């Protein structure tokens, strides 16, 4: 089956040279099935000896036990990416957050207007903190942390929030500058569902993708 044509990335040598790795396998399996795929996989597949560590780090940041639940961490990732206008990342992680939180409408209401969204006030405080890290970093100070303490958040929760925001400020720049394009809404949603189930380790994602394609 012929693969769906996708707009090329800005780094043709990276896109054309995936090295042996689970990410290269993800690209191959999905393209062979004639399906849209996430071009970020090319960034991981080009130098897997480097990026395998990033994948494991991301799994820890987004899935390790924390008082900030995994759905809220995905929402923070989507909100940070929305702040940075990174279409691929906010669409991808909004889909994961919707799957984990059980409400696409909640996620999109937060992105459209945090203050009028039905998110609890203490969680809004974490997202305001994320926005300030992203947009007003030189103005960050201890009172910002104390404001989160007053909302009942512990240092551990704040630590994980900082990790998520920092990681996605990196991803937003890596993805946007490399020319990773968003895919269709349906494919963001379907990949988001699989990512919610399988996490960020590429072997688990490949297993989930193969299972999904076998059922397609």
CATH code, domain carrying 161: 1.20.1290.10
Residue 136 domain flag: yes
Residue pair 93/188 in contact (Cβ under 8 Å)? The answer is no
Nearest Cα to 23, choosing from 56, 54, 4, 46? Answer: 46
Residue 71 domain flag: yes
Distance (Å, rounded) from C-alpha 129 to C-alpha 148? 8
**What confidence tens digit (pLDDT) does each residue in 73-120 have?**
999 999 999 999 999 999 999 999 999 999 999 999 999 999 999 999
Residue 80 domain flag: yes
User: What are the structure tokens assigned to 41, written together?
Assistant: 């996989």
Distance (Å, rounded) from C-alpha 187 to C-alpha 92? 9
Q: What are phi and psi of 207, to 5 degrees?
A: -60, -45
Residue 13 domain flag: no
User: What are the structure tokens assigned to 156, written together?
Assistant: 């551990």
User: What are the structure tokens assigned to 56, written together?
Assistant: 């494991």
**What confidence tens digit (pLDDT) does each residue in 114-156 have?**
999 999 999 999 999 999 999 999 999 999 999 999 999 999 9
Task: Using alpha carbons, list the distances in angstroms from residue 157 to 16, 30, 42, 143.
Answer: 40, 36, 32, 16
Residue pair 164/76 in contact (Cβ under 8 Å)? The answer is yes
Q: What are phi and psi of 29, to 5 degrees?
A: -60, -45
Listed in sequence order, the DSSP H helices in 17-86 are 22-32, 40-46, 48-63, 70-83
Geometric angle at alpha carbon 27, from 42 and 215, rounded to 5°: 150
**Quick one: angle between helices 155-178 and 142-150, nearest 10?**
120
Which position has the token pair 């994961």?
96
DSSP letter for 66, please.
-
Residue 215 domain flag: no
- Statement: residue 213 has pLDDT above 60: no
Q: What is this structure's pTM?
A: 0.93
Counted domains in the chain? 1
Per-residue pLDDT, 206:
59
Residue 207 domain flag: no
Considering Cα of 98, then 103, then 105, then 108, what sign does the dihedral take? negative
Residue 9 domain flag: no
In this prediction, what percent of the chain has a pLDDT beyond 90?
86
Q: Collapsing DSSP states into helix, strand and coil, what is residue 140? A: coil
Residue pair 81/107 in contact (Cβ under 8 Å)? The answer is no
- From the centroid of its chain, how far is CA 169? 11
Domain encompassing residue 151: 66-178
Residue 117 domain flag: yes
């Amino acid at each position: 089956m012929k693969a769906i044509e996708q707009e090329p990335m800005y780094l043709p040598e990276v896109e054309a040279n995936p090295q042996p790795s689970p990410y290269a396998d993800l690209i191959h399996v999905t393209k062979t099935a004639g399906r849209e795929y996430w071009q970020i996989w090319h960034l991981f597949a080009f130098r897997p000896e480097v990026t395998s560590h990033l994948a494991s780090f991301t799994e820890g940041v987004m899935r390790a036990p924390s008082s900030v639940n995994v759905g809220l961490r995905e929402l923070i990732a989507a909100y940070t990416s929305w702040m940075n206008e990174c279409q691929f990342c906010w669409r991808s992680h909004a889909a994961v957050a919707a799957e984990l939180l059980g409400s696409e409408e909640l996620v999109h209401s937060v992105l459209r207007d945090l203050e009028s969204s039905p998110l609890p006030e203490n969680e809004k405080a974490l997202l305001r903190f994320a926005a300030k890290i992203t947009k007003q970093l030189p103005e960050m100070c201890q009172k910002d942390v104390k404001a989160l303490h007053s909302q009942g958040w512990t240092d551990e929760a704040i630590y994980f929030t900082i990790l998520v925001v920092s990681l996605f400020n990196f991803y937003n720049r890596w993805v946007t500058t490399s020319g990773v394009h968003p895919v269709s809404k349906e494919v963001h949603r379907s990949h988001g569902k699989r990512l919610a189930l399988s996490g960020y380790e590429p072997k688990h994602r490949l297993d989930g993708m193969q299972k999904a394609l076998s059922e397609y």
